[in-house]
């Protein structure tokens, strides 16, 4: 026998969901600003040396942020 949970306050009827589950995470404003600043550092580094990787730029951006330059 198929048993389903029912909410007593709704008279036994289930609510239909209004929207689907969010497929991606919503980024906070701070995260967006950080991403933009990392990309700026990355592009500057890429102009000087084309073999630079994004991870290296992230490390440099974090260092600059700690020093208050970013």
Give per-residue pLDDT as tens, 33-48: 999 999 999 999 999 9
Torsion of CA 56, 36, 45, 57, to 10 degrees: -10
pLDDT for 6 equals 59
pTM, full prediction: 0.59
pLDDT of residue 61: 96
CA angle 40, 44, 46 (to 5 degrees): 115
């Amino acid at each position: 026998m198929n048993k389903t949970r029912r909410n007593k306050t709704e008279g036994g009827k289930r609510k239909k969901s209004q929207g689907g589950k969010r497929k991606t995470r919503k980024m906070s404003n701070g995260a967006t600003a950080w991403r933009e600043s990392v990309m700026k550092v990355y592009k500057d580094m890429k102009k000087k040396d084309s073999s630079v990787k994004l991870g290296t730029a992230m490390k440099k951006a974090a260092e600059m942020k700690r020093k208050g330059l970013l």
